Chain A
Amino acid sequence: MDNHKPNKDLFVPVDTREDDSEKISRPSLSFWQDSFIRLRKNVGAMIGLVVLILLIVMAAIGPSLNEYDQFEQDLSRAKMPPKIEGMGWLGMDGTLSTVQTNDSLDQAETNALMRFNNDEDYIETTVLNDGSNGEPAEVEAVYDVYAAKDMEEQNFWFGTDGLGRDLFTRAWEGTRISLYIAFLAAAIDMVIGVAYGGISAYYGGRVDNYMQRIIEVLIGVPNLVIVILMILILEPGILSITIALTITGWISMARIVRGQILKLKNQEFVLASRTLGAPDGRILRKHLIPNVLSLIIINTMFTIPSAIFFEAFLSFIGLGLPTPLASLGTLVEDGFQSLQIYPHILFFPALIISLIMIAFNMLADGLRDAFDPKMRE
């Protein structure tokens, strides 16, 4: 048998070094890069982020997109329904409609016409059910408000409110103010909470003991009560609402930060830093706080929607921003006054506030999962 011998030159020794298996083959990711990659995979959080960015952009540019001013009143154009050119299929064609039911067809038609002041030139009636099959007759009347008021060249995209102010402008102005209050309140909460929790945990001992007793008393006070009382003495306004929201808002942040720092402060890297002579302030700022940062961000993301809710809530109980300022809360409250006949006044601000809340909550959930996969549901 002819034994085929392979050429020895085909074999080349691999150039190995002892520490090859220790080599890192992938790019090293920092904690934040890693978290961001996880966040990007989370569909819900990304949808939330996009919606949020859109809403913030609209809040920034929305009020200047049309020629109407947020305070410009004109009773002759009060309570106009929404109208967007070319969006009639969405029901935003500038008409009001009603369906009247009555035993007799004539009466139903009369009622339908009466609903719009018998302005017959601009009313189109359709008989939905002439009552011949034993059921009550139904007549639908569609009233072209813009034509009736001779304003056909005008477009109020979200309609107008009871004083004839353009709701599109006001809705985005309101979003702006609501977001401003929420961000400001969340930022103040964050600063106070982190400082309080950090100092309490880091210095420990008697300082911690006293600071925690104060928190224990404060946490027993319902924030609903505090917020209402503060607004009562401070006179409603953007700043006073923000202050009222922060009076108890920082407590949960302080507790979270304290719990984390208690865990971290005895670890070796803190000891190392201290051995090298770093002052307390530097250890807190450079070593402890950055390690709690992810929890701080998550908590802040949950504070913002709750601040938006409380602002709206205050408007409801008559402690909101003074007129004529618009916030999402005052707009929603306003919308309830004429909900039965003009639902559009409530619809748009309610939609915006709901979208903001959903988007923030989804993003916050996503951030929580991304920062700490262990906490994932």
Chain B
Amino acid sequence: MARYITQRLVYMVITMFLIATFTFFLMKFLPGTPLSAADRLSEEQQAVVLAKYGLDDPVPVQYFNYMVNLVQGDLGISFQFDNREVTTIILDRIGPSLQIGLQAMIIGTLLGMLLGLVSAIYHNGFLDYGSTFTAVIGQSVPSFVFAGIFQYFVGVKLGWFPVALWGTWEHTVMPTLSLAIFPLAIAARFMRTEMLEVMGSDYITTARAKGVNKFGVVFKHGVRNALIPLITVLGPLAVGLMTGTLVIESIFAVPGIGDQFVKSINTNDFPIIMGTTLFFAFFFIIIVLVIDLLYGIIDPRIRLAEGE
């Protein structure tokens, strides 16, 4: 186990290093300059501005400085917002993103598990077809389409929840729901498959033969075993949610990281684009690692297999 974790950590560092290097050099070769008024500034003025952001050094020096700062958690200064550090901007905006993401993840997976469970218990019944169909729709239709439906019908027509912006819990309802449908669908499909498999296994027959009631069979013996593989899909789901937040945050004008990222792309604010990209990559890698480790800890069979 220790060797496995070390190996994973080494890969993680290599991946992060490659991404950081790649991002840096991409940004260097990008068309467009951060000086939006370059043609109106004199040579001296341009030099002063470039020096302020350390852009007058040779590229290898810039790269070295960038990497040293990066290790210390300093992502540089934003071009767009004067003298604001990228790290603080990201930290300021992480709250709303995290809130929506976590809410969507929790609501989505819980409801999805319930739906999958109902499907499996009433296998091939009306409820099964209904929830399988719901899952196919939820898995296929992009989150921004749901966002549009919610925004128009729930926000504009019914007026139940604010159409956009941020503040009270009511503002979080529609973005959360738009994001939650995808994890809901995936969790439902996965839970259904797992549950059907588990319910067909020998230990369930044993439990039934011993006279355990239906509730006990389904929840004590069935669900607990079906849950284990579900953890493997949580990683890809979390990554999918990250992609989703970029779009959902711009649609609902949520002041999160995704919204800032989209704005920075449109204003050529390189330090923020680089910082956010690295942040996303880091987040992604950590989630995958944690879930892999969690999987090994929860399922004793996997630990055994590694020990052999």
Beta-carbon contacts under 8 Å, B229-269 to A: 239, 242-243, 246-247, 250-251, 261-262, 265-266
- Is B11's beta carbon under 8 Å from chain A? yes
Chain A contributes a number of interface residues (CB within 8 A of B) equal to: 38
Chain A's nearest CB lies how many Å from the CB of B146? 9
- Is B65's beta carbon under 8 Å from chain A? no
Give chain A residues whose Cβ lies under 8 Å from the Cβ of B277. 225, 228-229
- Is A312's beta carbon under 8 Å from chain B? yes
Give chain B residues whose Cβ lies under 8 Å from the Cβ of A305. 140
Residue pair A217, B136 in contact (C-beta under 8 Å): no
- Is A30's beta carbon under 8 Å from chain B? no
Q: A233-B30, A313-B246 are in contact. Are A221 and B144 (CB under 8 A)?
A: no
Q: A235-B31, A316-B144 are in contact. Are A222 and B192 (CB under 8 A)?
A: no
Beta-carbon contacts under 8 Å, A189-225 to B: 216-217, 220-222, 224-225
Q: How many A-B residue pairs have CB under 8 A?
A: 115
Residue pair A222, B284 in contact (C-beta under 8 Å): yes
A357 CA to B185 CA in the complex, in Å? 14
Chain A's nearest CB lies how many Å from the CB of B130? 13
Residue pair B265, A346 in contact (C-beta under 8 Å): no
- Is B205's beta carbon under 8 Å from chain A? no
Give chain B residues whose Cβ lies under 8 Å from the Cβ of A228. 265, 277
Q: A224-B280, A357-B141, A362-B136 are in contact. Are A229 and B12 (CB under 8 A)?
A: no
Checking A224, A332, A340, A360 against B156 with a beta-carbon cut-off of 8 angstroms, the contacting residue is A340
A216 CA to B288 CA in the complex, in Å? 13
Question: Could you mark each residue 75-108 of chain A with 1 if its beta carbon is under 8 Å from any beta carbon of chain B, else 0?
Answer: 0000000000000000000000000000000000
A161 CA to B178 CA in the complex, in Å? 25
Q: Please give 20 more A-B residue pairs, beta carbons under 8 A apart, in addition to A220-B15, A332-B144, A350-B144.
A: A216-B11, A222-B284, A225-B281, A228-B265, A232-B26, A232-B30, A232-B273, A313-B142, A317-B246, A317-B262, A317-B265, A318-B266, A335-B148, A339-B148, A339-B156, A340-B156, A343-B152, A346-B148, A358-B141, A361-B140
A-B contact pairs, 10 of them (CB 8 A): A220-B285, A221-B281, A232-B26, A232-B265, A305-B140, A312-B144, A316-B247, A332-B145, A353-B142, A361-B136
A residues with CB within 8 A of B: 44, 216-217, 220-222, 224-225, 228-229, 232-233, 235, 305, 309, 312-313, 316-319, 332, 335-336, 339-340, 343, 346, 350, 353-354, 357-358, 360-362, 365, 377
B residues with CB within 8 A of A: 11-12, 14-15, 18-19, 22-23, 26, 29-31, 136-137, 139-142, 144-145, 148, 151-152, 156, 163, 189, 192-193, 196, 239, 242-243, 246-247, 250-251, 261-262, 265-266, 273, 277, 280-281, 284-285, 288
